[in-house]
Chain A
Amino acid sequence: GEDVEQSLFLSVREGDSSVINCTYTDSSSTYLYWYKQEPGAGLQLLTYIFSNMDMKQDQRLTVLLNKKDKHLSLRIADTQTGDSAIYFCAESIGGYQKVTFGTGTKLQVIP
C-alpha cells in the first residue's frame, strides 16, 4: 500500500541544523522527493533521490535514505529564517506517473 508519514512540526534556531524525517511503506518506490511549500506558494522541488542511492548532498541539503527501514530524511545545514516553510516528502513508482505525498512538516526557524 501507499502511505507516507511525517511529523507535523519542527522548530529550530537559526544557524542550527534541521532534520526532517519521513517514512514510507511501498518498497517498490523508485524515486523519493523533497518539496518545499512557502506560505501562499506552490510546491518547489528541492531534491530527489533514486531508491538505489543511500545519500545525496546538494549544498546545504543532505538526503539520507534507509531503504531497509523505508526511512527518508532531509538535513538542512545552517538553517536560515528563509527556510521556514512546509516540507513534503513524496514517493513514486516508475517516475512521476503517480506520486504519493506525505502530510508535510512545518519547519519554524527561530531567529
Chain B
Amino acid sequence: DTAVSQTPKYLVTQMGNDKSIKCEQNLGHDTMYWYKQDSKKFLKIMFSYNNKELIINETVPNRFSPKSPDKAHLNLHINSLELGDSAVYFCASSQDQGSEAFFGQGTRLTVV
C-alpha cells in the first residue's frame, strides 16, 4: 500500500499552460506539505497544510495555488507555467507538525 502517492509521476507541458499535481495520503495524517526540488537537488518547502488549513506559505509565486479538499488530499495547481518551474515536486505528510514526514515519489515537471 502506498502511503503518500502523487500523480502524475512525469509531466511535460508547454509554457503558459495550467497544470495540477495531485497528492493523497492514506496514513490518517493531519499535516501535508509540498516541496520543490530544483536541478541542484536543493529541497525547499512551498506550502504546509494542517487539517485543510494553510499553515506555511513560503515565497512562492501566486501562480501556485494549493488546494486541500480534505485532510487526505493536497493538490498543487500551477497557472501559466514558466520554464523555471521545471523541477521535481514532492508531497509529504506527517501526523502533526512535530512528527516525521513521509514523502511521495515525486513528480518531475518539465516545462518546454
Interface residues of A (CB under 8 A from B): 33, 37, 40-45, 48, 86, 88, 94-101, 103-104, 106
Which residues on the B side are within 8 Å of A104 (C-beta)?
Answer: 41-43
In-complex Cβ contact of A42 among B4, B44, B45, B96 (8 A):
B4
In-complex Cβ contact of A99 among B41, B45, B96 (8 A):
B45
A-contacting residues, B26-46, CB 8 Å:
31, 35, 40-45
In-complex Cβ contact of A103 among B41, B45, B98, B105 (8 A):
B41
Central interface residue in A42, A86, A104, by most chain B CB within 10 Å: A42
Contact size range, B: 20 to 34
Asked if B48 contacts A97 (CB within 8 A), the reply is yes
In-complex Cβ contact of B41 among A40, A86, A94, A97 (8 A):
A86
Asked if B97 contacts A95 (CB within 8 A), the reply is yes
In-complex Cβ contact of A43 among B48, B90, B94, B99 (8 A):
B90
Asked if B1 is at the interface (CB within 8 A of a chain A CB), the reply is: no
Asked if A101 contacts B44 (CB within 8 A), the reply is yes
- Bound CA span A45–B93, Å: 12
Interface of B, secondary structure class, is: strand
Which residues on the A side are within 8 Å of B102 (C-beta)?
Answer: 45
Interface of A, secondary structure class, is: strand
In-complex Cβ contact of A96 among B42, B100, B104, B106 (8 A):
B100
Instruction: With A95-B98, A96-B97, A98-B48 as known contacts, state yes or no: A43 contacts B103, CB within 8 Å.
Output: yes
In-complex Cβ contact of B98 among A43, A44, A94 (8 A):
A94
